[in-house]
Amino acid sequence: MVERKIIHIDMDAFFASVEQRDNPELRGKPVAVGYSEERGVVAAASYEARRYGVRSAMSSLKAKNLCPHLIFVPGRMSAYKAVSRQIHEIFHQYTDLIEPLSLDEAFLDVTGNKKGISLAVDIAVAIKKSIREELNLVASAGVSYNKFLAKIASDYRKPDGLCTIHPQQALDFISHLSIESFWGVGPVTAKKMHTLGIHNGEQLRLCTVEMLTRQFGKAGLMYYDFSRGIDLRPVEAVRIRKSVGCERTLEKDISLRSSVIIELYHVAVELVERLKQADFTGNTLTLKIKFHDFNQITRSSTQTNELKTLNEILPLAKQLLKEVEYSNHPIRLIGLSVSNPKELVDEKEEWEQLSFEFSDWSD
């Protein structure tokens, strides 16, 4: 079997870096893309801002408390998309096997690349150089024999990082990896791992597949494989759009039912418009609620009919809302998404990840 050569490219502080590039007055200063109002959220932060602890998805109020001289700039999604297309043009000089994860992140399979370059790290170096010279932006790159390790490697030496994990190094590298660094391990799963005595890759590798699947379901098998450096997922040049969603951060926390219903209506109207624009239908509706303390829950319902009109979506959304207790737990954010499409798109359709401005909705 031919050993795969996978590169993961991750643009460093992408939105903020584009703003600093296009506005010289912002260079070297702490910049946050987003809105500074009381209910605002940081969409991206420059590395100068990150030194103060400012992070994406943080409330603007907290960000300003951490960094009083933080400069907020409104986002320009059209500009970021245009730059992302330029980055992909550079990728295509080497391979057409490109799997975008977002506007600023992608996997490349360069096993059989267009230029016949034998070492993947040489391609990564060339791509980083082209991005810097042609676009005046900085990227980090990870190189390995599968997607899991390539992504881990790209995060290892940011910013402007380059890290290669060779097959003979993989197990030792994974052994010292914190469990929070594993793909698919969020705060809730990490906490559960810790209660089981699992804090790093070495401890995870000692677990049996039976134990992990019992504790984590299907994801347990993925953790079992990752701890052994196994990830057989291919780089998929075409991605199927799996959902369309939108959400609204409210100006004030609300708990009055009539107010919640009004906001739910507005989100449903926006969702219907986005479904129309995306020419997308699915039969699963998911309601997302984020409370005043930033805890969040989701509730879903799958129907036999496709969901595409307000008359189909709003009553179902109201039904899902009945499953949420918020009378003594004010709501900060409401989101809706439609997923589970009945028909797959044509395999030749070009895929572009849905990136709604300053939305932290996850598919």
Q: Which active-site residues does the annotation give?
A: 105
Can you tell me whether residue 41 is helix, strand or coil? Answer: strand
Whole-Å CA distances, 278 to 84, 272, 338:
20, 10, 12
Query: For the packed helices 187-195 and 209-216, what is the interaxial angle rounded to 10 degrees?
Result: 130
Distance between CA atoms of 170 and 230, rounded to whole angstroms? 10
Of the candidates 66, 81, 91, 109, the residue with the CA atom closest to the CA atom of residue 236: 109
Q: What is the dihedral of CA 200, 205, 206, 207, to 10 degrees?
A: 100
Sign of the C-alpha dihedral, residues 177, 178, 179, 180?
negative
What are the start-end ranges of the H helices in the chain?
14-22, 47-50, 60-66, 77-91, 120-135, 147-156, 167-175, 187-195, 201-205, 209-216, 218-227, 257-278, 310-321
Contact indicator for 318, 359 with CB cutoff of 8 Å: no
Q: Is 239 helix (H, G, I), strand (E, B) or coil?
A: coil
Helices 167-175 and 147-156 meet at what angle, rounded to 10?
A: 70
Tracing tokens 């609300």 back to the chain, one arrives at 254
